[in-house]
Amino acid sequence: MKTRATLSDLPLDIIHQVLDYLSPNSILSLIRAVPLTVAAISSTHSHAVGESGETLLHLLAQDGDARVLGELLANPATDPNVHADMFMIPAALSLNDLCDPFYSVIPSQHHYHGRTPLSYAAAGGHLATVEVLLIHPDTDADHADYIHRTPLSLAVFEGHIHIVSLLLARADVAAKRHNRFYDIPLMLAASQGHTAVVEMLLRQRPDMRADGEIGHNLTALSAAAGRGHVAIVELFLSRGPIDAHMVNLMGYTPLAYAAESGHLRVVEMLLKRTEVNANGRPGISSLSLAVQHRFTEVAKVLLQWGEVKVKNDDYYGKATLRIAAENNHIEMMKMLLDRDDVDVNARSMLGISALSAAVEEGNVDAVTLLLGRSDINANVKDDRGRTPLIHAAENGDTAIMGLLLERDDVDVSIQGITGMSALTTAVKEGHIDAVTLLLGRSDVSANVKDDRGRTPLMHAAENDNTEIMGLLLGRDDVDVNVQSITGMTALAVAAQEGQVGAVVLLLDWNGVNVNSRDGRGYTPLMGAVERDHIEVIRMLIMCDDVDVNARCDEGMSALSIAAWKWRVDTVPLLLGWSGVDVNSRDDNGYTPLMGAVEANCVEIVRMFMMCDDVDLSARSDEGVSALDLAHDDAVTQALNRNAMEVN
């Protein structure tokens, strides 16, 4: 009986042609299905690179297939160090990456780039595969990829102590003592808490230092301290001279890392070292970090240590009391406030005090605690001149506002650098309860102006907040006709913004000036016309005392503005109003019709031509008529009703 032929029975050149079309993963699948195929695989196929930089050798090493890998490496042409080259910018190491310091920094589509088969065997803990690769005379056992990953560092990180032992037995592994990455394996073992691996590294590579600088001065000691590995920290501190206070570029020391993560035992061990400085550079004190992350016991230990200083001010705004207040850490605040060296009014670079920070975050308990201090400045200003009361008003936090307003020393009239008072701020943000609370005080001015001369009523009108406007108008001292720096009244602002509700409310108010003038000489009607707010225009022209023919500083009436601005809905509304001057002149002698012609708006020109009293013969100061200004056939045709008479 004949047996069925398989792929391995084919001529070698045919097998090679088949393999040429297969990816490394497909070749691996073929090997699994037809093991005899291995004998036909050439070095070319072993070295072929897949989409992610993988080769067949990488895949076998990753799977721990020592037998097949050994067969392929028996071919003298097979390179055990094969790897795909790709330019990668080396990544900086930091403690934040220590949970996954390597794998997260290379995108998955380039996963295999720069790495050798040995690196995968070492990382995977495949001891037999590592042995096969190390036997090969050409294997580079210390090959580093683009982010300094070596087989040793990967084995160390994963805690594969037997592979670490194999690698350290080679003289060519971790032999470059003056390389800035020489201490990486020790740092990685320390970060992962592999105590036995740390001991092995220190025994077989005694030049590796726990305080050796890596990347941005990250050390093995910092890594162990930051991860809370007590036994490793103790081991490092017991090994002769060591700089336990090395400060990295972020201002962190081993003590700072331990305090930030709440590792009390490590903190206590480090504080026994005479060279340790718990204060760090500005902004990175160990105490501040413990306070920030609510590690009360760590903070207590640090406060009991005689050398610690409470940070009162610094460039980065990380003063200790301010951090506690910002995070509403009441127990921490009480501990700090018992200290003689705490300045409760200290401010950050941005002028934020502990009180302001607590107010900003809405921390009622923290605010209450701080306001109970006799030395607290309840009116402390930030860099924008805002007081705690202004911050509370901005947030609409009436509970905190109430606490502040209970104090006799709180000044409700203080304004920030933009002129915003607590009342103006609350109005602008639309916080009705906060506005009500402030207006209940006799020392609050309802007409206070900001740096643009705008009053709270103007801000409320701009936002169409009629409920707040009603509260303001209920004050006897409110002036509805106050003008801003640009001459705008509350009515002018509401009209310009098209706020119908605000306009209705103000027009019903006795004494409002419907013909007020702004800096351009515009009336509220002109402002509404310019923005084409039809409903507002309709309400304004219905007022008995509105002057529809008022002219601005350039001599333009509301009708002229509408004609110039192509306001096709506004023009007929104004033309239909009794008393409107259809032939009003601006400072250049132009009539509304001339404006429409020059703007080339045929539709509006036709509207004017339907008016019996429009003066087609009118000429500007330069002697130009509407017909002279026409440059479009459609406009000219619209003007031709009386063209013959004019000529």
What are the pLDDT digits (tens) for 508-549?
Answer: 999 999 999 999 999 999 999 999 999 999 999 999 899 999
Q: Residues 414-464: pLDDT tens digits?
A: 999 999 999 999 999 999 999 999 999 999 999 999 999 999 999 999 999
Instruction: Give the chain's mean pLDDT.
Output: 88
Q: Residues 241-253: pLDDT tens digits?
A: 888 888 777 778 8
pLDDT at 99: 47
The domains found in the chain, sorted by start residue, are 1-175 (1.25.40.20)
Across 19-33, average pLDDT:
87
pLDDT at 320: 84
Dihedral over alpha carbons 77, 79, 84, 90 (to 10 degrees): -150
pLDDT at 277: 59
Sorting pLDDT into bands at 50, 70 and 90, what band is 104? Answer: very low
pLDDT at 250: 74
Sign of the CA dihedral 193, 195, 199, 201?
Answer: negative
Sorting pLDDT into bands at 50, 70 and 90, what band is 98? Answer: very low
CA distances, 102 to each of 50, 146, 540 (Å) = 21, 10, 70
pLDDT at 276: 59
pLDDT at 181: 76
pLDDT at 467: 98
- CB-based contacts of 255, cutoff 8 Å, min separation 6: 225, 244, 245, 267, 270, 271, 276, 277, 278, 280, 286
Sorting pLDDT into bands at 50, 70 and 90, what band is 88? Answer: low
Q: Is the pLDDT at 197 greater than 60, yes or no?
A: yes
Q: Is the pLDDT at 199 greater than 90, yes or no?
A: yes
CA 80 centroid distance within chain? 46
Q: Residues 567-592: pLDDT tens digits?
A: 999 999 999 998 899 999 999 999 99
pLDDT at 100: 45
Report the distance separating Cα 407 and Cα 394, nearest Å: 19
pLDDT at 184: 86
Output 315 or 211, whichever has higher pLDDT: 211
